[in-house]
Structure 1
Amino acid sequence: MSDADLPSAAEPPATDAPELEAGAEAAPARKRPKPGERRIQILQALASMLEQPGAERITTAALAARLEVSEAALYRHFASKAQMFEGLIEFIEQSVFTLANQIAERESQATDPSAGLRQAAAVVTMLLQFAEKNPGMVRVMVGDALVYENERLQQRMNQFFDKIETLLKQGLRFGGAADASTPSADAQVQASVLTAFVVGRLQRFARSGFRRPPTEFLDDSLAQMLR
């Protein structure tokens, strides 16, 4: 799934329903979605519903009602609700790792000793900013929305954070963050601490009803962890 399939990390989810032209005397009740458009609308609606209180479990009936379609219409685009969540997870993965790879590529050009620390800080900041701008996705990332779903979905999110930790470890080993005077084990410890910090911030954000932003005191927190 490309970034174009769902709203970008910088924009909240929005519907793709065509707008009526001003002054139109009459308009059709509903235009037939373009190929693939309904699938996107379903994922956007699911992400939007996950932003609401008590949205840990969303039924296909509620999702269909939100879209004003039948449940059968949903299953013409997705074989199961688990497949819908997989669509959201794919968006999270592609968005986050595309940005993380851009950060790594940029910092790989640097030669100063702090490049590795800077890369790790940038990845953590990017991830928490993504979460803050996509609160519905956070319920998926921390697993709240996956409790009653197929176990493979939670396993996939666990693998997502394993990859984040590996990415942070690689960055911390790069440059002066883990030079000859710094044992490689330090990079592993720092990466583990940073990953736990990210997960904790995401959980607090979701369980506060999205009132406690994950980027709260972020610069000072990173300064404490990346000395």
Structure 2
Amino acid sequence: MDTMILYGRNFSPFTRRVAITLNHLGVAYEQKPLSTLEDIEAIRLLNPLGRVPCLSVAEEVFIDSDAIIDYLLSRNPQHTLLPQALNARQRCMYDNALAKGVMEKCVAYFYETTRREPALVSETVAKHYQNQVMQGLEALDSRLLLKASEQQLDLSDISIFVAYQSACSVFKDQLPTFSTLARMSAVYEAWPTFHQSPL
């Protein structure tokens, strides 16, 4: 079996969702926590855009969390992360897209408020990103109530968990209470699939 190497830190929600997917699938891998700030040249050798995650398998390199996860699922056809029933699959993909949007805006907010020169930070832009995160989490919190509690873990659960914890990390005390998301996060945090790849 070819050695898989995942590049990126779990502070990146996109890297973390790949790591958790690898854990869930039981795929052996090595993780090299490269930072887009400190290791940008090394990352560009893998991805010209200088973005993580990247996954190397033998001589091949996969970039972008969706493309990487698609590759992993194709290698593990016995997986149950994508529901077979049409309605369940559509719900999974909708929730997955919402969660990824929250991740994107968490990253955008973080960079806008911490990586720009103070004089260049736009409070209007930062507030817009924050509002998008809050609206996305509110929608996910409501939609989780509609999901049967006995339903098995799917890809959207991983993405929602990562998105919520990313928002908690970025916004801290500014984050309102999302009861359903908080309960889900507490439950999943105890599962090996999740706690093997901490934030």
Name the TM tier (shorter chain): 0.3 to 0.5
Q: Structure 2-normalised TM-score? A: 0.34
Question: Would you tell me which structure has more strand in proportion to its own residues?
Answer: 2
The structure with higher relative contact order (CA 8 Å, sep 6+) is 2
Larger Rg, first or second structure (1 or 2): 1
